[in-house]
Amino acid sequence: MKTAVCIKQVVTREWQLRVNDQKTWIRDADASFELNEPDAYALEEALRLKEKHGGEVVVCCAGPARATQVIREALARGADRAIHVESDAFTAADGATVAEALASAVRDEQFDLVLTGLQSDDQGFGQVGVVLAEKLGMPHATIIMDVQVQEGGLRVKRELEGGWFQWVALPMPALLTIQSGINQLRYATLKGIMAAKKKEIRKAAAPAGSEPLQKILSLYVPEKAKQTQLLGGSAADAAKQLVVKLRDEARVLQ
């Protein structure tokens, strides 16, 4: 089975976000970056499917040059090779633009299966995977918590709201968006890191730019919905104040 895993590089969760002067994106020149977490689960699922059914795992990324960091990491975890559609324009691009770039890179590869994370930790529109499926003419299923390969296709477990699930069968080639927690992640071994250095990263040109369909007008810190009483001082002071508040003001300790 030949599987593509689409990955994105995002700023780390711990990174203190600051908005740029135009208020259209964050200041990320000196940020630290990581593999988008749901994509890490998609990669892990692809590696497990390969261990069970054989084949090849190819990492695909539409991102700026610095995204090589997460591509190398994916190769170190066990992916066989990578395709990098490189452009600075992808840093804050909308889902349709990223999906078009990924589609141009994977269209001729004849993948049996394409996996993506269900959404990105930065913009979080949650559409690249499904738009990509439409562009590739593949059937898709989203928010997947289990993947079974069966005669003629796949049987996958979709997560629904509130603890509900549903099995869905679909023919291959297909695209799935993977939910976090579908598996336990592996980390790169030293051997994997060494091996990754010899693996191919094919650079692909970004497709001719079409007008983006949507635009971030401004990015800002949200206003608080509630007036939070911040309790300061030492840990002991804060704890003392909190217990008094909970007992006498909120009356939730009885």
The footprint of other proteins on residues 23-52 (CB under 8 A) is: 26
> Is residue 173 reached through a cis peptide bond, with omega within 30 degrees of 0 on the bond before it?
yes
Stretch that binds other proteins, among 68-76, 108-116, 164-172, 188-196 (CB under 8 A): 164-172
Q: Which of 42, 31, 216 is nearest to 61 (CA)?
A: 42
Per CB under 8 A, which of residues 196..225 are in contact with other proteins? 211-222, 224-225
Q: Binding other proteins by CB under 8 A: which of 83, 142, 147, 196?
A: 142
Q: C-beta of 35: minimal distance to other proteins in Å?
A: 15
Tell me which residue has tokens 């940020």.
31
Per CB under 8 A, which of residues 61..100 are in contact with other proteins? 94-96, 99
For the CA atoms of 113, 116, 46, 103, the dihedral, rounded to the nearest 10 degrees, stands at 40
Stretch that binds other proteins, among 52-60, 74-82, 124-132, 188-196 (CB under 8 A): 124-132
User: Would you say 80 or 241 has its CB closer to other proteins?
Assistant: 241
Per CB under 8 A, which of residues 166..185 are in contact with other proteins? 166-171, 179-181, 184
Q: Binding other proteins by CB under 8 A: which of 108, 162, 197, 208?
A: 162
DSSP assignment string, 30-72? T--EEE-HHHHHHHHHHHHHHHHH--EEEEEEEE-GGGHHHHH
